[in-house]
Amino acid sequence: MVDEYTRECLAIDVAGSIRSGRVIEVLSKLVSVHGAPRYLRSDNGPEFVSRAILRWLHGANIDTAPIDPGKPWPNGLNESFNGKFRDECLSMEWFKNRIDAKIVIEGFRREYNEVRPHSSLGQLTPVEFKLTLSQQLIPARAIPQ
């Protein structure tokens, strides 16, 4: 799960099979931590078009922005992230088990968010960019005269 604006990788769920209930669980946690997005862009995989997820999204007041099958360019940021993730993590590691995979993949996610500058963010990391946004939103304190 990648935030399109801040480029922050919010979650990578490691599992053998991810069904709609697990997607709802991950999304619920992200919404409780980061707030609800206006929309969720996704492919048309069965885990994203299930009635349960569509019902949950409707209840959370989140619109959907599905991409057309076989046309990845509307989802370019996620496609780019997936390529980096595959090339720099998944193809470079041999996981002993799922716990090992979770640890290594979480390390990649943190490095992506906290260490790697992004040209689209003015050479800031996603965490730095998000911090500058939050500082801009805090109104200046009134100075007593």
- Is the pLDDT at 7 greater than 90? The verdict is yes
- Is the pLDDT at 142 greater than 60? The verdict is no
Phi, psi dihedral angles at 98 (to 5 degrees): -65, -35
**CA-wise closest residue to 41 among 86, 6, 72, 8:** 72
- Residue 58: its pLDDT value, please? 93
Tell me the C-alpha distance between 138 and 20, whole Å.
37
Average pLDDT, the chain: 87
pTM score = 0.83
Give per-residue pLDDT as tens, 47-60: 666 889 889 999 99
CATH of 20-137, one of 3.30.70.260, 1.10.760.10, 3.40.50.12160, 3.30.420.10: 3.30.420.10
Give per-residue pLDDT as tens, 70-118: 666 666 788 889 899 999 999 999 999 999 999 999 999 999 999 999 9
Burial group, residue 142, by CB count within 10 angstroms (0-12, 13-18, 19+): exposed
